[in-house]
Every structure is written in structure tokens, then in C-alpha cells.
Homo-oligomer: A and B are copies of this chain.
Amino acid sequence: MKEHTEVTIYDIAKKLNLATSTISRALKDHHSISKKTIEKVKKTAEEMGYRPNNLAASLRSKKTKTIGVLLPTIEQPFLASLISGIEITAKKAGYNVIIVQSHDSYKGEVNLVQSLYNNRVSGIICSLAMETKDTSHFQLFIDSNTPLVFVDRVPKEEFNTYKVIIDNYNAGYKATKHLISQGCKRIAHLAAGSEFSIYYERKKGYLDALKEFNLPIEDELIVKLDGITLEEAARATNKLLDLKNPPDGIFAPGDILGVSAIQCAKKRGIKVPEDLAVIGFNNDPISQIIEPHLSTITNPGSKMGQASAEIILKTLKSKDKDEVKETRVLNTEVIIRESSKRK
């Protein structure tokens, strides 16, 4: 078997009696190199089977053309489309994407941040792990002037970085208001996440909508979940429907939860939406499969990914780093389907 040896710009230089610098420039269409030389070099490179070594180039230039993406998981439709949006945008600009999953573990996140740094990614896009309260492990990137964008699950205000989010408070408000508009008087909420999460924002929107329309806020209508699963939501929904005075509407801050609520209600012979109107969140595929189809709030994953990547690319281009980091807030929409149409 023939030994494989890498063809380098040095080999091309030797063959053409040129300097490596000329080769290097020619391969990048540097303006100072004559067209003739450029063509000749490219042709020879092709013939010799030359393949640029990005590692060497990155080491020298200190530019890796790689974006690190750190997410809780990729096995959620919303996050998968987020990644897809990032990948497409990055690729267009000639960037690669390294993807790592924290599995919602704080410790995991810290390690992965280190690892991404060690790979000298050009920028990093992150959605925080559920467990994460403190974000000092990202200081690394700030100190080294590496663009950092948080998306979806972002840190608290005080941390000055780029953010790409939706207005979770407003979305929760809109979802609840929609149920109210359908005549719901006792609207329940499945409360997920911790006090510092996007779910908390959605809950605040829910609460404020109730207040605004003079509907009572009742503790028994707000059930805490231990996780975003069908099972937890089923447990919670059963609890709600067991009440003396059960709800006539549910705002579920995730489609899995909303779907589970519907399944649960149906099993008990409770009619959706007549007896119980339900609205979810995310517009996952399952929302259009469940019967009745689940009303929901759009969560523009792909656009958020695109926006995040664009911010990274823009920041890399502009030498002067602005001290005030923008926060992009993308729009959400209420999608009304059968699960909540009562009028």
C-alpha cells in the first residue's frame, strides 16, 4: 500500500519554482499575484492533489472559521431547527459548526465551554442548561474577545452579552389572552422550569393576563411540573381535573405538555375545546397531529439560529467591538387550532 503523504504549498512551490508565499497568495486570489500565476498554481495544486490544511492556517492566522454550539439537547424539534438555522448561515460564510450537548447539566456545560475554548472556536452560541444559575464560565470568551451569543435560554439581565430570544412574557400573555377571548374563566397553568427560566416568564405573562381581565389567580390552578414530559403533564392535568372546581382552559408552556393535557382530558371524557380549551407552545409537529389540533405559540427556531449566527459573523467582521451588546427579540404568533376554538 502506498504511503500517503500530504501535498503542501511547499511542494507546489518547489515544482513551480516559486516561493511558498506566492503559492499561499495565489490560492486565495490575492490581488498582487498575476492572473497567469494564479491559474498555473491552481492547476498544479489540483494536479498534485493538494488539500489545504485548515489547522495550520488556523493556528497561524488565529481564525478557526468554526462556531461552537452548546445546547441542552438536540433532540427537540425546536432546538434541531435552531441548529439547522445556525448551520445553514454559518456554512454560507464558510464556517463550520461544532455541536455539543449539555444535557441540562451545569457541570457538563462548564466542561464543554472549556473544550470549545480549547478548540479556539471563532464564536459560540449557547442555550443554557436548566441547572445553570451562574454564567461565569463564559468569562473565558469575553476575556478573549470571542463573540458570544445566548439564545432562547439566556442569562439574567446583568450579564452583558448578545442575546437572541422571543418575548416569553408577552407570548405567555398572548396565549392566556386568547383563552380568555374564547370565554375561559378558570384557566390553569402547567408551571415548568425554575424561577430563572423562560418558563417563568411565560407564567408571568399568564398571571398578568388574568389580572388584566379580572380573573382570579388561584394557586390550585397552577401545577408545578418536575420535567417537560408527557407523564408529568398527565399527572398535573389529572390533578387539575380532579378539582371540585376544575379549569375550563389550560395554558401549557410546551406542546408536549399541551398534547398530554388533551390526551388526558379525552381519556376522562372531557371535551376539548368545549369543556376544556388548551393552548401549547412551540408549534412542534405533534401539535398538528393530536386531535383536536393543538393551538400554540410559534417559536421561530430556525430564524433564531440564523440571527445568532449572523451576530457572530457580524461581530467577527467589525474590528471595533461595541460595548453595548444588542438583544434581538423575534416575533411569536398565536396559532389558533381546534383545541381552543370555542367561539
Q: Using CB atoms and an 8 Å cutoff, list the residues of chain A in contact with chain B.
A: 4, 51-56, 58-59, 64, 66, 73-75, 77, 80-81, 83-84, 87-88, 91, 96-101, 114-115, 117-120, 140, 143-145, 259, 263, 285-286, 289-291
Contacts and interface: CB of A to CB of B under 8 A. Distances in A.
B88 A84 contact: no
B54 A56 contact: no
B87 A101 contact: yes
A75 to B, nearest CB: 5
Given A96-B100, A97-B98, A54 B118 contact: yes
Nearest to A119: B54
Nearest to A83: B74
Given A143-B4, A286-B286, A99 B99 contact: yes
Given A74-B80, A74-B83, 4 more contacts: A55-B64, A56-B59, A74-B84, A96-B115
Contacts of A118: 51-54
B83 A99 contact: yes
A318 to B, nearest CB: 16
Of the candidates A52, A118, A285, A289, the one having the most CB atoms from chain B within 10 angstroms of its own CB is: A289
Given A58-B55, A117-B51, A289 B259 contact: yes
Given A59-B55, A84-B75, A120-B54, A100 B101 contact: no
Contacts of A75: 77, 80-81, 84
Nearest to A2: B143
A64 B56 CA distance: 12
A84 B235 CA distance: 28
A84 B96 contact: no
12 contacts: A51-B118, A55-B119, A75-B81, A77-B77, A87-B99, A87-B100, A91-B101, A96-B115, A96-B119, A97-B98, A97-B100, A291-B291
